[in-house]
Amino acid sequence: MEHISVLLKESIDGLMVKPGGIYVDGTLGRGGHTLEIVRKLKTGKLIAIDCDTEAINETKEKLNSYKEKITYIHGNFKDTAKILENINIKTIDGAIFDLGVSSPQLDDISRGFSYQSETKLDMRMDKSQTKTAYGLINTLSENELTQILRDYGEERYARLIAKQIINKRSKSPIETTFDLNDIIIKAIPAAARREKQHPSKRTFQALRIAVGDELGALKEMLDTVPDILKPGARICIISFHSLEDRIVKRAFSHYATKCICPNDAPVCICNKSPLLKIITKKPIGPDTSETQDNPRARSAKLRIAEKI
């Protein structure tokens, strides 16, 4: 399936691109947001970051006519501030982060992201990293597996699935996505197998997050990027599940708070000034026409904040 950028108009409108500004697309993917940003630039520059070299190479070719405006970086968006420092950029006019997996990545069977195709367990965005879903499934303890499935997948039957994984791998390694599917289906109650959502969805989400340390990367980015935004610059973040959205919401709220002293403190002693102004009091979601055209957009949530 061709990749369709989610909430494209809403996020680009929210970014408020200036023709001469410096912007970051911290999750380049197949370049949908990148293209709309560079179309608005005249003397400006875009720094495009991705951990997937295949995505970078494909997008470079597709956006070749804009090559003078784009600097491509192979790296993780968690290191955005460090990457900019390395190329002598101190502040930027805006940044966008789309935290989803692109359609080409999902549809590339060899990646092992999908529970609907049989392939080796992998789930790496960056093929140069050593951690894989296969390694996690076949080496972690029952308690560690339970915690990953519960914390990252919000899986109700995390303990049952972890037990079944341990039992299965004691006889032979768990090699493929369908091997894991079979384990999950056997582990959960019969009623859960009949639910509308595929029984493996939460487990596969949890493993993908664990392999890429996606939540840790998001927290690291949010710890550093707001400091390098110019006054009036905006940060747009598109998330696809409640764990990510919760982290973004809490971070924006923290940066927008004036005082963090205890409620019973007689006077403010923290001297904390707000760093961001929240633009989206509630997250922006896709409209009906977008979800009809792109069902994978259903869970997307866009939050926008502006540097004060």
Query: Given 213, 229, 264, which residue is the final one in a domain?
Result: 213
- Which residue in the block uniquely carries the two structure tokens 């968006």? 77
Helices (H), the chain: 8-15, 32-38, 53-62, 80-86, 103-107, 133-139, 142-153, 158-169, 177-187, 190-193, 201-212, 214-224, 242-256, 288-293
Residue 245 has pLDDT above 80, yes or no: yes
For the segment 259-290, what is each residue's pLDDT rounded down to a tens digit?
777 777 778 777 778 999 999 999 999 999 99
Number of domains in the chain: 2
Pick the last residue of a domain from 213, 229, 244.
Answer: 213
Confidence tier at 296 by pLDDT (50, 70, 90): confident
CATH assignment at residue 257? 3.40.50.150
Q: Give the span between the Cα atoms of 35 and 46, in whole angstroms.
A: 10
Residues 252, 156, single domain; the answer is no
87 and 225 housed in the same domain: yes
Domain final residue pick, 213, 241, 257? 213
**pLDDT for res 128:** 86
290 and 279 in a common domain? yes
What is the rounded CA–CA span in Å between residue 224 and residue 229?
10
State yes or no: pLDDT of 214 exceeds 70: yes
| Residue 269: predicted pLDDT | 75
pLDDT tens digits for range 168-210: 999 999 999 999 999 999 999 999 898 888 999 999 999 999 9
The answer to whether position 187 is within a domain reads yes
Q: Please indicate, yes or no, if residue 114 is contained in any of the structural domains.
A: yes
Position 225 in a domain:
yes
Residues 76 and 168 in one domain: no
Q: Do 99 and 234 have their domain in common?
A: yes
- Domain identity same for 140 and 152: yes
What are the tens digits of pLDDT across the range 21-80? 999 999 999 899 999 999 999 999 999 999 999 999 999 999 999 999 999 999 999 999
85 domain residue, yes or no:
yes
Same domain membership, residue 221 and residue 99: yes
In a domain, 174, yes or no: yes
Instruction: Decide if 2 is inside a domain.
Output: no
* CATH number of the domain bearing residue 162: 1.10.150.170
Largest CA distance in the chain: 64
Residues 207 and 110 in one domain: yes
Give per-residue pLDDT as tens, 127-164. 888 999 999 999 999 999 999 999 999 999 999 999 99
* 258 and 206 in a common domain: no
> How confident is the model over 89-111, as pLDDT tens digits?
999 999 999 998 876 777 678 88
Domain assignment of residue 1, yes or no: no
Q: Which domain holds residue 89?
A: 8-104+215-307
pLDDT score, position 112: 85
With a cut of 70, say whether residue 2 has pLDDT above it. Answer: no
Residue type present at position 215: L
Q: Are residues 143 and 267 in the same domain?
A: no
* Same-domain pairing of 235 and 87: yes
Residues 96 and 70 in one domain: yes
Rounded CA separation 69/67 (Å): 5
Q: What is the pLDDT of residue 56?
A: 95
Per this entry, what is the length of the chain?
308
Q: Within a domain: residue 135? A: yes
